Amino acid sequence: MTTRIPTLLLTGAAGLLGRQLTPALARCCERLVRSDLAAALQAQGDATAVPCDLADRAAVRALLQGVDAVVHLGGVSYEKPFEVVLDANIRGLFHLYEAARLAGTKRIVFASSNHVTGCYAVTDHNAPEDPPRPDGYYGLSKLYGEGMARLYFDRYGIEAVCLRIGTATPEPIDHRSLASWLSPGDLERLVLASLTTPGVGFLVAYGCSRNTRRWWRSDEAWARLGYAPQDDAEAYAGKVGHITFPPGSPMARLQGGTFLDIGPFDD
């Protein structure tokens, strides 16, 4: 993979991170194709992107035509009932990977999530190779996405970097994110490294800054990517450190935070 990608597809382009990453992604390719749900694009007044529902197999096949690499951000980004997660994150991943195989796409950078391991304790220091412990249907769907990426690398050679992103916000928002924060600058560095590092094969990495309080031991994966985070949430400890969850609650005990307070979804 050269450092300047001929055609790069960004899904979830109308979302928070999609909008944030667009300028940097545009610089690292010859042609950036941005896509999202029609309604999301309309809400942004965005007429230049390609509307596509990931649940629509034919539309996803058309979208991937001529695409060399993908930054896949599209999908449900929060804990929801299984049926809500199903179309975008389960069916959608299948459609994306099948379309990528048919189109000869070389690499997919997948926005996985820390919620793949959200049931680890806040006192744990887990690494990508430790057993998954999803904290809900959303986290489980991201684990499925990582499995899909592994399968399509092993069988069809599509390179994959699965980024278990922490809390990607302009600044840390609470006590929890003093551990999980991924700063905007580090997000950009991590995604660009995931796209352009040669011979990456298949890799799962956590996505956080060099936070003093970080839970995740991702140094090996970061070294393979040449990702050196530059920001530390500790600088915000005085500002947000007092924003905590009820002591002893699952939110306070487990890494997934507020997601542990959502569900079960009884009819």
Using CB distances below 5 to 8 A depending on partner kind, what does residue 180 bind out of ligand NAI, ligand 15L, none? Answer: ligand 15L
- In the complex, what is the shortest distance from the CB of residue 162 to ligand 15L, in angstroms, rounded to a whole number? 13
Q: Which helix (H) or strand (E) holds 84?
A: helix 82-85
- Which amino acid makes up residue 33? V
The catalytic site residues sit at 138
The correct pick among 113, 183, 194, 196 for binding ligand 15L (CB under 6 A) is 113
In angstroms, the CA 117 to CA 88 distance is: 20
In angstroms, the CA 187 to CA 59 distance is: 29
- In the complex, what is the shortest distance from the CB of residue 47 to ligand 15L, in angstroms, rounded to a whole number? 26
- In the complex, what is the shortest distance from the CB of residue 104 to ligand 15L, in angstroms, rounded to a whole number? 30
Q: Considering the complex, state which of residue 115 and residue 213 has its C-beta at the smaller distance from ligand 15L.
A: 115
- In the complex, what is the shortest distance from the CB of residue 99 to ligand 15L, in angstroms, rounded to a whole number? 23
In angstroms, the CA 23 to CA 213 distance is: 30
- In the complex, what is the shortest distance from the CB of residue 2 to ligand NAI, in angstroms, rounded to a whole number? 26
- 72 scored as a contact of ligand 15L (CB under 6 A): no
In angstroms, the CA 1 to CA 192 distance is: 13
The correct pick among 11, 105, 167, 194 for binding ligand 15L (CB under 6 A) is 167
Tell me the C-alpha to C-alpha distance, in Å, between residue 258 and each of 103, 122, 176, 247. Answer: 39, 13, 10, 13
Q: Considering the complex, state which of residue 5 and residue 168 has its C-beta at the smaller distance from ligand 15L.
A: 168
In angstroms, the CA 74 to CA 15 distance is: 8
Is residue 109 within 8 A of residue 73, CB to CB? The reply is no
- Which amino acid makes up residue 70? V
Using CB distances below 5 to 8 A depending on partner kind, what does residue 55 bind out of ligand NAI, ligand 15L, none? Answer: ligand NAI
Q: Considering the complex, state which of residue 169 and residue 247 has its C-beta at the smaller distance from ligand NAI.
A: 169
Residues sharing a CB contact under 8 Å with residue 163, sequence separation 6 or more, in sequence order: 109, 110, 111, 112, 190, 191, 194, 205, 206, 207
- 115 scored as a contact of ligand 15L (CB under 6 A): yes
- 209 scored as a contact of ligand 15L (CB under 6 A): no
Q: Contacts with ligand 15L: how many residues (CB under 6 A)? A: 7
Of 32, 221, 211, 30, the residue nearest 112 (C-alpha): 221
- The three-class DSSP label of residue 213 is coil
Residue ranges that bind ligand NAI, judged by CB under 6 A: 12, 14-18, 36-37, 40, 53-55, 73-77, 87-88, 92, 111, 113, 165, 167-168
The correct pick among 117, 180, 183, 194 for binding ligand 15L (CB under 6 A) is 180
Using CB distances below 5 to 8 A depending on partner kind, what does residue 265 bind out of ligand NAI, ligand 15L, none? Answer: none
- 194 scored as a contact of ligand 15L (CB under 6 A): no
In angstroms, the CA 3 to CA 256 distance is: 35
Q: Which residues contribute to the site for ligand 15L (CB under 6 A)?
A: 77-78, 113-115, 167, 180
